[in-house]
Structure 1
């Protein structure tokens, strides 16, 4: 009984992974183009090593970006490797996942304009707060 459930779960997991493989490969290929298409000096000039400004800038960039969360994690890792601050990267990832400026028109139609704007503004502010708290806690630990 348990072995049958385990086999079913394993098969289902492999099928899901198989379906996700093209997306993962596509993301990796696109992200690998970033260092070639966008030089490090271009995006480093937006980040000044100031915790608050970097968090705001990261949140702005994450808010206007669209795509799957997997992409934001990979881009965040690349930004960290290239010297962008953890404040900026954390705000970028949180805003990418929670704020949807690109999706705002559709969200406004479905959920109402006031709700969509308040939700996005709150998510934007919380992305900054989460970035500041996260880096602070990492430095404490």
Structure 2
């Protein structure tokens, strides 16, 4: 990937974060910890509207059982670059949707992973503890 493409994607992610009511509270260091690896590994997808306006992004990782355990049990977990593709458990790590309902973007995301029967995501409380784990299955999201 060229440096120009990397910085373009980093800028899109930063813009989406700034426009998100939730993600705008995160420190800029999150870009290095959670967005840089996704861009480097091609594990980020940006959403745009028909006019080309940025509508958000999703990042994902294929975690091992150990990586999944750390994600669920360590409120300060930071994945090492190698952990992003260490297993077969698909986790949607960041999911930001701006100015529209997320259902369409969830369907779009699930179609990226046609050969995977489910994906998981989580929400954390302010103190970092897991509040909710969601399991996303293809049968819930017919083709757009």
Query: TM-score, normalized by length of structure 1?
Result: 0.28
Please state which structure has a larger fraction of its residues in helix: 1
Larger Cα-atom Rg: 1
Query: TM-score, normalized by length of structure 2?
Result: 0.28
Please state which structure has a larger fraction of its residues in strand: 2
